[in-house]
Structure 1
């Protein structure tokens, strides 16, 4: 079985505060995009095996796709008689805030649910997904959602405004733990980016949405490469630009396909991990 695992972007990301369990409550508007990994699942004798086009991607329990497969097979009572070979064609950049690992895990859960005939309800898949990672429940649902809690409490959001996207990842990383520490040390209380994005989506106006998008992680990290890519996107005609997730990828929203494609082609010369895509 061949499957696509779609990347996600955060149109908004508000860090609401640190919880007693050490995690942080978030409020986000999340969107699936057409940039995707491709997975092939093949049922085998018991065990989970993995191969990837990118040799830097780990296997075993440190890999989200493998972990999702093991969890699913055990939960469905199939682990003693069924296994799976996972072959991954990696296209979504790692450590970018694009949810690539979560998307792969979600695709494995969906795929195994169909391949094995287990037919687990979505509620069970969502619970399994959360055990793999906070973004996996959204990747199982896809589309556009309001996400709260650590990202697992999903509710409908207004439809995405038609547009074209350019996503570009600079060759720098972001320490998520450090970014959370910086957010905890803020005294300004942060922004309500999510409320602004939801209101902009209701208007159906891309310029309003471009003004509304924002990310607390971006505000507290202030990476020069992120600021540079944002400036290049805006200068090329984007209605707005923002870092996604904990970074370091940046996306721009464009009203015109040709303008977006030209921007992607130019940016790719300086930042090879640049992609033209559309909302999924």
Structure 2
């Protein structure tokens, strides 16, 4: 089975505080976008085992990959094991705040469930997904936008009528999500950088994790400021824990023009991609 595994952006991500379990309470809206990996999953035998391959060097293909974690969790839930072959054709960069690994895990849960006769319902799949990662459940919903609470794993689908053109810019460095959350409480705002909510027709765009990430990686606040100065840009924000910055533009043509300017401004090591939200 071959499945599309889309990326996401966070239109907003508010941290409400640290919980007793060490995680953080958040409110976020996630929107799927037109950049996607392709996930291929095949049941090859009754002998237990998972073989994972990927087109991108450096992506782990061992038990640390969320795709394998998802398949292990699925087998534990249904009480059956088999031989599986998985291939990830990656287009979503890793360590980017775009949910690529989480989306892959959700695709594996959907694919494994369908290939084995759908032994689990959506509620059961969502429960498994929430234990794998906070962003995984949103990719299981039959919607392109969802609101997340708790750690982000408690998701509900939302109606999202906008199809927003945007440009994604990821510098050469990744941001580990745990690192960003651990430094949130003690971080400070940098002078001259816009952290306040940006009021838009689709909601107030703000990201609490910009504070710790910007404090460490000064290129990102400079990039956000530059994006907000560009013609046709309506708002700019970091997605998730970064390192991707995105700018929502007035039109697809504006997104293309900003992307070309960003390639020159950021240099050859940055990944720059115009796209749009799905609806």
Bucket of the pairwise TM-score, normalised by the shorter protein: 0.7 to 0.9
Q: In structure 1, what is the equivalent of residue 218 of structure 2?
A: 224
C-alpha deviation, 1:138, in angstroms: 1.1
Give the structure with the higher percent helix. Answer: 1
TM-score (norm 2): 0.87
Q: In structure 2, what is the equivalent of residue 276 of structure 1?
A: 274
Q: In structure 1, what is the equivalent of residue 185 of structure 2?
A: 184
Deviation beyond 4 Å, 4+ runs, structure 1: none
Describe how 1:70-219 pairs up with structure 2 within 5 A: 70-79=72-81, 82-141=82-141, 142-185=143-186, 200-201=201-202, 209=203, 212-219=204-211
Native 8 Å contact 1:48 1:70 kept in 2: no
C-alpha deviation, 1:192, in angstroms: 9.0
SS of the residue corresponding to residue 154 of structure 1 reads strand
Q: CA offsets, 1:208-250, max 9 Å, x none?
A: x5xx311011123323221233234331421000001111101
- Structure 1 gaps of 5+ residues are 202-208
Native 8 Å contact 2:167 2:275 kept in 1: yes
TM-score (norm 1): 0.86
Native 8 Å contact 1:14 1:192 kept in 2: no
Superposition RMSD in Å: 2.3
Q: 1:187 to 1:256 in 2, by over 3 A?
A: closer
Q: In structure 1, what is the equivalent of residue 192 of structure 2?
A: none
Q: 1:160 to 1:13 in 2, by over 3 A?
A: farther
**Equivalent residue in structure 2 for 1:49, among 40, 48, 51:** 51
SS of the residue corresponding to residue 156 of structure 2 reads strand
In 2, the alpha carbon distance for the partners of 1:123 and 1:49 equals 28
In 2, the alpha carbon distance for the partners of 1:150 and 1:93 equals 23
Q: CA offsets, 1:230-275, max 9 Å, x none?
A: 2343314210000011111011111211111122233235254111
Q: 1:115 to 1:268 in 2, by over 3 A?
A: farther
C-alpha deviation, 1:119, in angstroms: 4.2
Describe how 1:256-267 pairs up with structure 2 within 5 A: 256-267=251-262
Native 8 Å contact 1:76 1:118 kept in 2: no
Moved more, 175-184 or 60-69: 175-184
Q: 1:127 to 1:38 in 2, by over 3 A?
A: same
In 2, the alpha carbon distance for the partners of 1:63 and 1:176 equals 15
Q: In structure 2, what is the equivalent of residue 68 of structure 1?
A: 70
Alignment length (residue pairs): 264
Q: In structure 1, what is the equivalent of residue 227 of structure 2?
A: 233
SS of the residue corresponding to residue 56 of structure 2 reads coil
Q: In structure 2, what is the equivalent of residue 253 of structure 1?
A: 248
C-alpha deviation, 1:130, in angstroms: 1.4
In 2, the alpha carbon distance for the partners of 1:109 and 1:200 equals 34
In 2, the alpha carbon distance for the partners of 1:55 and 1:125 equals 30
Q: In structure 1, what is the equivalent of residue 39 of structure 2?
A: 39
In 2, the alpha carbon distance for the partners of 1:90 and 1:156 equals 26
